[in-house]
Amino acid sequence: MTQSMTGFARASVTTEGLTVTVECRSVNNRYLDLHFRMPETLRECEPHMRAQISQTFSRGKLELSVQYQQNKSASEAALDTDHLGTLQAALKQISTHFPDAEAPNQLALLQAPGVLNERPIAVDALISATTAALKQCLEALSQNRREEGEKLAAMVSERGELIRALLLSLRQQLPALQQAYREKLLARMASLALTADAKRLEEEMVYVLQRADVEEEMDRLDAHLDAINAALIGTVPCGRKLDFLMQELNREANTLASKSTALETTNTAVEFKVLIEQMREQIQNIE
């Protein structure tokens, strides 16, 4: 399964007079790293939210924001008639002792502390709406990361096929390159006027040619490319496995370059390394 670690999603749920909005941003990271910004009222939900996210994603740095807003009808202030009655009784006593004192108007009474209070939040409804909004947000984020992952997989596969094409071309050239190297060695020995038993000479020649043979490295490159394709279409997160396979590809390319006895082989190894690096850059974003 190829899923990117970068993405963004937003979801809102309205219920029982309030609206909860959850936003989540995700970027690449070696592990699953979660950061929350939410009202203190919801802090008790954080362990459950962490578990919910961990069931959906295995890697990535996720920044999650939760906000809520009471709807107009629910946020209307509640009049504390008991407190208002207490104030009015106190005002009557004041007017008795100070008859010339100006009585406060109704607006002043309403502005007195404790007369008008915001209706309390229904915590159970808030938690329920937050859970629903988080579920929708994670589903949208997962879809976003899958779509981005498909693009990354296509780019990785494309470069893998370019490496295969280079391998095929090198395989076709290899017999001629090996023969040219053999003739070069014979010419070198002739120029040095070296004489040796024909059998011994042939044994030494085989030894030198075997050390320069790159067939094994080419076979392993092919095998690693097969493993990459299998991982990309698998059903589990493959980022770590792909990262390991990139190291193996790079190791084989280095070995091939070190064994090179012809400019064609050296140039091909360099092209391998360029393509492998391009693949590695894309794989850094795969979960």
For residue 4, what are the contacts with CB-CB under 8 A and spacing of at least 6? 145, 146, 148, 149, 151, 152, 285, 286, 287
C-alpha to C-alpha distances, 27 to 9, 34, 280, nearest whole angstrom: 12, 11, 17
**Contacts from 173-179 at CB under 8 Å and sequence distance 24+?**
173/264, 174/214, 174/215, 177/261, 177/262, 177/264, 177/265, 178/209, 178/212, 178/213
Residues in the chain: 287
Question: Which one, of 210, 221, 228, lies nearest residue 169 by Cα?
Answer: 221
For the domain covering 7-73+122-146, report its CATH number.
Answer: 3.30.230.10
Residue 258 half-sphere exposure, CB side, CA atoms within 13 Å?
8
Which helix (H) or strand (E) segment holds residue 120: the answer is none
For residue 265, what are the contacts with CB-CB under 8 A and spacing of at least 6? 170, 177, 214, 256, 257, 259
What is the token pair recorded at 137? 């947000």
CA terminus-to-terminus distance, the chain: 9
Report the distance separating Cα 111 and Cα 79, nearest Å: 11
Residue 226 half-sphere exposure, CB side, CA atoms within 13 Å?
6
Per-residue pLDDT of the chain (287 residues; tens, 9 = 90+): 789 999 999 999 998 788 999 999 999 999 999 999 999 989 999 999 999 999 999 999 999 999 998 876 544 566 666 666 776 777 677 677 767 666 666 666 556 666 555 556 678 888 999 999 999 999 999 999 999 999 999 999 999 999 999 999 998 888 887 777 777 766 776 666 655 565 666 665 665 656 667 888 999 999 999 999 999 999 899 999 999 999 999 999 999 888 877 888 889 999 999 999 999 999 999 99
Report the distance separating Cα 59 and Cα 115, nearest Å: 51
pTM beyond 0.75: the answer is no
